[in-house]
Amino acid sequence: MAHPVMFSDDDPGLAELRTICLGFPGAEEHVSHGRPTFKCGKIFAAFGGSEKLRPGEHRRVRSALIVKVDESEIQALDDDERFFVPAYYGPFGWRALDLEDPDTDWDEVAELVDASYRLIAPKRRIAELDARDA
């Protein structure tokens, strides 16, 4: 059974996130489990999700950015109240940021996505990115 679509193209932050994510070499957007995901072979960013509060209880975060985080950065993000551990992704080293915050720093979002992409993308795509940015 297909998951229902759980986003709208006018959700806060989605247009900006698409621009950032689709700017990476080989990046594609797919809908998975009803939400936009951005892939370069594997998922490097997802839009929308939830936070597991306690067993059986979740808080839906409609406009969350979910990214893979280097192990060395997890504690710093966990100490930052803007970030949360997303349900399902969290135990695998992913963290999330609510993009509905009017003070969202889009340069920071781009850095988070860049770091996640570099953890996920094939080496040849990272080389393309580095060559383009040189």
- Cβ neighbour number for residue 53 with a 10 Å cutoff: 11
Please state the pTM of the whole predicted model.
0.94
Average pLDDT, the chain: 94
- Describe the strand order of the beta sheet including 42-54 as a list of residue ranges: 28-32, 35-40, 42-54, 57-68, 94-98, 83-84
pLDDT-above-70 percentage for the chain: 99
User: What are the pLDDT digits (tens) for 2-48?
Assistant: 889 989 999 999 999 999 999 999 999 999 999 999 999 999 999 99
Is the pLDDT confidence value at 1 over 70?
Answer: no
Architecture label for domain 14-133: Alpha-Beta Complex (3.90)
